Homo-oligomer: A and B are copies of this chain.
Amino acid sequence: MSVARIAVVAGDGIGTEVTAQARKVIETVLPGTQFEDYDLGARFYNRTGEVLPQSVEDELAGHDAILLGAIGDPSVPPGVLERGLLLKLRFDFDQYVNLRPSKLWPGTTSPLAGVKPGEIDMVVVREGTEGLYVGAGGVLHQDTPAEIATEESLNTRYGVERVVRDAFARAQRRDRRHLTLVHKTNVLTKAGSLWARTFKAVAAEFPEVTTEYQHIDAASMFMVSNPQRYDVVVTDNLFGDILTDIAAAVTGGIGMAASGSVNPERTYPSTFEPVHGSAPDIAGQGIADPAAAILSASLLLEHLGHHDEARRVSEAVAAEVASRTAGAPLRTAEVGDRVAAAL
Contacts and interface: CB of A to CB of B under 8 A. Distances in A.
A224 B241 contact: no
Interface stretch (A148-156, A166-174, A262-270, A318-326): A148-156
Contacts of A74: none
Interface stretch (A18-26, A44-52, A242-250): A242-250
Contact of A149 (B111, B139, B148, B191): B191
A207 interface: no
Interface residues of A, number: 63
A248 B145 CA distance: 35
Nearest to A133: B187
A225 interface: yes
A197 interface: yes
B194 A139 contact: yes
Interface string A111-133: 11110000000000000000011
Given A185-B79, A190-B138, A154 B150 contact: yes
A225 B241 contact: no
Given A139-B193, A158-B145, A111 B224 contact: yes
A21 to B, nearest CB: 24
A236 to B, nearest CB: 10
A90 to B, nearest CB: 11
Nearest to A213: B78
A137 interface: yes
A7 B221 CA distance: 30
A157 interface: yes
A194 B139 CA distance: 8
Contact of A249 (B82, B143, B148, B224): B224
A148 B245 CA distance: 28
Nearest to A236: B151
A135 B189 contact: yes
Contacts of A83: 186-187, 189
A202 interface: no
Interface in A215-242: 216-218, 220-222, 224-225, 238, 241-242
A87 interface: yes
B82 A149 contact: no
Contacts of A217: 241-242, 244-245
Contacts of A152: 137, 150-153
A193 B149 contact: yes
B190 A150 contact: yes
Interface in A92-127: 110-114
Contact of A221 (B191, B222, B238, B249): B249
Interface string A248-292: 111001100000000000000000000000000000000000000
B220 A245 contact: yes
Contact of A147 (B151, B156, B245): B156
Contacts of A216: 241-242
| Shortest beta-carbon contacts, A-B, top 3 | A147-B157, A224-B249, A149-B194
Given A218-B245, A220-B245, 8 more contacts: A83-B187, A112-B113, A113-B113, A132-B187, A152-B153, A217-B242, A224-B224, A224-B250
